Structure 1
Amino acid sequence: MSLTRHEIREKAFQALFALNANPDADENQLFQQLLNPEETDAVEIPAYLSTLVTGVREHQVELDAQIQPYLSQKWSLDRLAKTDLIILRIAFFELQFVDDVPTKVAVNEAIELTKAFSDDRSRKFVSGVLGKVVKNQAN
C-alpha cells in the first residue's frame, strides 16, 4: 500500500484525533486500523505517518505555545475545536520540523484537511491563522 503525503496527513489527523480522545491507545494498533480496516495481514506503516504523529505528540506543548500568539485575545487553545487544533499542530510541526515540506505546501495541506474533516468556518479560521504565520515569517 503506497500512500501519498496528502493521504498520510489525513491518516495522521485521524490518528491524532483518536489519540486525543484516548491518549493511552497503542499507536501501532491504531495505525493498522487506519491503514487496514479489513484487518487482514499487518501493513507497513509509512515512515512519514510515524514522523507526523510522534512528532506532534512529542512537541505538543511547544506547538501549542507557538499557536497561541496567533489566536485573537478572546480565544484560547481550550476554546478551539479539536479538529482545528490538531490541524494547526500538524501544520506548525511541518513548518518547524520537516525541512522538505515548503511553507506553501504545509499551509495548503492544512486547509485541505479542514475541507475534509471540518467546515467552512474552520477552513477560514485555519487559513487566517496560517496566513499570519506566513506573513510573520516573511518579515
Structure 2
Amino acid sequence: MSARSKARKRALDILFQSDIRGEALPVMLAAEAKRAASEPAREASWLYAREIVDGVIDHGEEIDEQIVTHARDWRIERMPAVDRAVLRLATWELLFNDEIPAAVAIDEAVELAKEYSTEDSGAFVHGVLARIARS
C-alpha cells in the first residue's frame, strides 16, 4: 500500500471519528498529531493525512456544498458517516490538490467505501465523485 493510500485511510479515520463523536475536526487532528509524533516511521502517511484534514477544515462548506449538489436527492446528514468522510476527503483531492489525478482520487475513494461502508457505497461514492469531477 502506498504512503498516500495509507494517508487517505488515516484521514478517513480522523474525519469519521470527528463526525461520529461530534468532536471538532481541529481537536481530532491535534489528538492524532500527538499520536503521530510517537510514530516517526509513519511520518510520510501522517503528513499527507494532515494535509487532507486541514484541507477539509479550510474548505468544509464548499466541499459539503459540492457533495450535496452532486449527490442527487441525498442530504449529507442522511448518508452513512463513512460515506460522508470518504466523499469529503476525495472531494478535497478533486478540487484542491492538483497533484492527484481525478481518476486516482475517485478509485481510492471507491476502494475505501467498499472496504469500510455498505454494499452499495462504492457505486454511490463513484457516482457522486464522477459528477463532481465533471463539473
- TM category (shorter chain) comes to 0.7 to 0.9
CA contact (8 A) 1:91 1:106 kept: yes
- In structure 2, the residue matched to 1:68 is 68
Give the secondary structure class of the aligned counterpart of 2:27.
coil
- In structure 2, the residue matched to 1:28 is 30
- In structure 2, the residue matched to 1:10 is 9
Identity %: 31
Higher helix share goes to which structure?
A: 2
Q: Which moved more, 1:81-90 or 1:20-29?
A: 20-29
Give the secondary structure class of the aligned counterpart of 2:120.
helix
CA contact (8 A) 1:15 1:31 kept: no
1:17–1:26 distance in 2 versus 1, CA, 3 Å: closer
C-alpha deviation, 1:13, in angstroms: 0.2
For the residues of structure 2 that align with 1:130 and 1:110, how far apart are their CA atoms? 9
> Structure 1: which 5+ runs fail to align?
36-40
C-alpha deviation, 1:58, in angstroms: 1.9
Across the two proteins, how many residue pairs are aligned to each other? 127
RMSD: 2.0
TM-score, scaled to structure 2: 0.83
C-alpha deviation, 1:119, in angstroms: 2.1
Deviation by residue 1:41-69 (Cα, 9 ceiling, x = unmatched): 71244321110011112211110011111
Alignment of 1:72-111 (within 5 A): 72-73=72-73, 75-111=74-110
C-alpha deviation, 1:32, in angstroms: 4.7
Please identify the structure whose Cα radius of gyration is greater.
Answer: 1
